[in-house]
Amino acid sequence: MRQIIIDTDPGQDDAVAILLALASGDALEVLGLTCVAGNVPLDLTTRNARRVCELAGRRDVPVMAGCDRPMGRALVTAEHVHGQDGLAGPDLPAPTMPLDPRNAVDFLIETLRAAVPGTVTLVPIGPLTNIATAFQRAPDIVARVAGIVMMGGAHRALGNVTPAAEFNIHVDPQAADIVLRSGAPVTIVPLDVTHKALVTSERNAAFAAPGTRVGRAVAALTDPRGRESARHGGQGVPLHDPCTIAWLLAPDLFAAREVNVMVETGSELTMGMTVMDWWGVTGRAANARVLHDIDADGFFDLLTARLARL
């Protein structure tokens, strides 16, 4: 059983990633959800994380509030994708479970210090502010992390929020830079992969088919006619964040390569761009395993089957 902490800014696709993890109790133990500002401000990401836990019938999962803004920049949000409250689509009630009073950064530090080294995996699916803040405040925890499996960045897919940058990295490039330079084992799920994980109308219908509350909610969260659909030839919308959990459950669905990745933190034009040394031309040591291909049908089969358990 792998222990994970999901660091998240729900967010429609974050919600599906959390549900996939909670549906996979045979393989993953979710120690907590550490929330960060990203798709929507922190008060909404903490609210949405609890709405998702309650949807899954998991009020026992601690949900904590972390950083409310990036390390050195103003917060950029994505209501235009995820809706004003961050979870457009399903009609999920306001949460009744309380927010855990612990601070998310403190929780990351204390959990890693208390655990056997190499047993806790971090899964950041939003801006990396909480993780980088924890690493800065407690450098000793870096060596204790089993791995970091993050959604963010792009190689050939370039950007989705600017021509050069992917949203999670663009929102807090400084934090991404700290994490990538930390020496922790990092696996990156970039847009190159997630743009192949398109929710088509058939895949969307399959989510709803079991007739469960979770199935209907996921179908509503992943409307294939959503705003990003036009960019993908009207074929569907990308399901970014659940790919991280799928990698933990079924790595054979992906192809990967070890490369050096650096983040642009200086130029406004390309702020947050992930520069991936695909051909090893710089001589810089690899600092990340970058996923670059996915068996999309296998991924959706896995996701649909697991969500039907909830």
Which residue's CB atom is positioned nearest to ligand BDR? 167
Question: Positive or negative, the Cα torsion across 259, 142, 254, 243?
Answer: negative
Q: Which residues contact 150 (CB under 8 A, 6 or more apart)?
A: 123, 124, 125, 128, 168, 179, 186, 187, 188, 189, 244
Binding residue count for Ca ion, defined by CB under 5 A? 5
- 3-state SS of 76-123 is CCCHHHHCCCCCCCCCCCCCCCCCCCCEHHHHHHHHHHHCCCCCEEEE
Q: How many C-beta atoms lie closer than 10 Å to residue 285's C-beta?
A: 10
Tokens of 306: 């697991």
Query: Is residue 6 involved in binding Ca ion (CB under 5 A)?
Result: no
Please state, in angstroms and rounded to a whole number, the distance separating the CA atoms of residues 115 and 111.
6
| Selected catalytic residue, list 170, 195, 240, 292 | 240
Tell me whether residue 52 or residue 109 sits nearer to ligand BDR (CB atom).
Answer: 52
Residues from 42 through 81 that contact ligand BDR (CB under 6 A): 78, 81
Q: Which of 34, 39, 48, 222 binds ligand BDR (CB under 6 A)?
A: 39
Residues from 97 through 156 that contact ligand BDR (CB under 6 A): 125-126, 151
DSSP reduced 3-state for 290: strand
Q: Which of 4, 7, 13, 290 binds ligand BDR (CB under 6 A)?
A: 13
> How far apart are CB 254 and ligand BDR at their closest, in Å?
17
Please state, in angstroms and rounded to a whole number, the distance separating the CA atoms of residues 224 and 205.
10
Residues from 236 through 265 that contact Ca ion (CB under 5 A): 241
Question: Which listed option, Ca ion, ligand BDR, none, makes contact with residue 167 (CB within 5 to 8 Å by class)?
Answer: ligand BDR
Q: Which of 125, 176, 191, 218 binds Ca ion (CB under 5 A)?
A: 125
- CA 37 to chain CA centroid, Å, is 13
Query: Is residue 192 involved in binding ligand BDR (CB under 6 A)?
Result: no
Amino acid symbol at 161:
V
> How far apart are CB 78 and ligand BDR at their closest, in Å?
5
* Active-site annotation holds for 240: yes
> Residue 189 forms beta bridges with which residues?
151
Q: Which residues bind Ca ion (CB under 5 A)?
A: 11, 14, 125-126, 241
Which amino acids are annotated catalytic?
240
Q: Which residues bind ligand BDR (CB under 6 A)?
A: 11, 13-14, 39, 78, 81, 125-126, 151, 160, 166-168, 240-241
